[in-house]
Amino acid sequence: MGAQLRVYRGRIRSVKATKKITKAMELIASSRIVKAQQRIEAASPYTNALVRAISAAASNGSTAHPLTHPRGEERVRAAVCFVTADRGMAGGYSSNVIREAEALTNLLKGEGLDVKHYIVGRKGVNFYRFRERPIAGQWTGFTDQPRYEHAQAIAAGLLEALQAPLAEGGVDEIHIVYTLFHNMAQQEVRVRRLIPMEVVEVSYEEAVEREIVLPLYDFEPAAETVLDALLPKYVTNLVWNALLQAAASEHAARRRAMKSATDNAEELIKSLTRQANQARQAEITQEISEIVGGADALASAK
């Protein structure tokens, strides 16, 4: 066997081994997407009902509350929390979130606000550490399979910044950047302002026209007391929903990236196989030419 043919066959074995790994990762991601979708479907009804109840309480409240109004007369500082991945091999999943978070940061700074960053996932943490940027809070190690305890820890850090005095580094706005999962093929980076929440008033005529069922609540005790009690639950559940959406999107992005890598490996194997066959045929042709040349030389000598 010639040296060139050995090189081709060695590369083919290497690409086949890589293909096995990418195919396995694709199958793992595909199986985890289904579980992630089920967790989203299980958590969404409670989160939606909680948001509707808080919206109704905020609409009936007579005093300013941190959920619906800024803490001071002027906006001073905002917290930006964004969710990236712990591991790579997911295409542009983390880079898209970081890019959107950077755009939001520039927008808030352009409005005169100081920005504090809270980062979920090693990719985002490493991005800021490499550039020596300050990080107000970080959480890693669970982005592909989050638990409710993780959302509670993140929400506790955000609420601590919200309740701290502005003179001591407290914030009066909380924004979260995550990837919304639509389906297996479509995910969208979403920016959402958690605090203060956006309350949209809908008239009865508009509700009838848009077929919206307006919630009817009686608050006991007062609506302000209800808002104070529901504030931690509101932030925790929206963070929890963002983590679930981001986890499903991460699995979908990784599955898509691994499928593309597997397809590229198959094409590369075909190309290398053709080149190896050509090298083998060239060697056979050369051997035949040498045999014929040797026979002609012997015949001429006789």
User: CA–CA separation, 172 vs 162, rounded Å?
Assistant: 6
Measured CA to CA in angstroms, residue 249 lies from 89, 97, 229, 246 at distances of: 13, 11, 32, 5
Given CA atoms 131, 137, 138, 144 in this order, what sign does their dihedral have?
negative
- Which CATH topology does 23-256 take? Pyruvate Kinase; Chain: A, domain 1 (3.40.1380)
Per-residue pLDDT 10s for the chain (302 aa) are 567 888 888 899 999 999 999 999 999 998 899 899 999 999 888 888 888 777 777 666 555 666 766 666 678 899 999 999 999 888 899 999 999 999 999 999 999 899 999 999 999 999 999 999 999 999 999 998 999 999 999 999 999 998 888 888 889 889 999 999 988 888 999 999 988 876 555 554 555 565 555 556 666 677 677 777 778 888 999 999 999 999 999 999 999 999 999 999 999 999 999 988 888 888 788 778 878 777 777 777 76
H/E element, 196: none
User: CA–CA separation, 234 vs 115, rounded Å?
Assistant: 22
- 37 in Cβ contact with 181 (< 8 Å): yes
Residue-range domain boundaries for the chain: 23-256
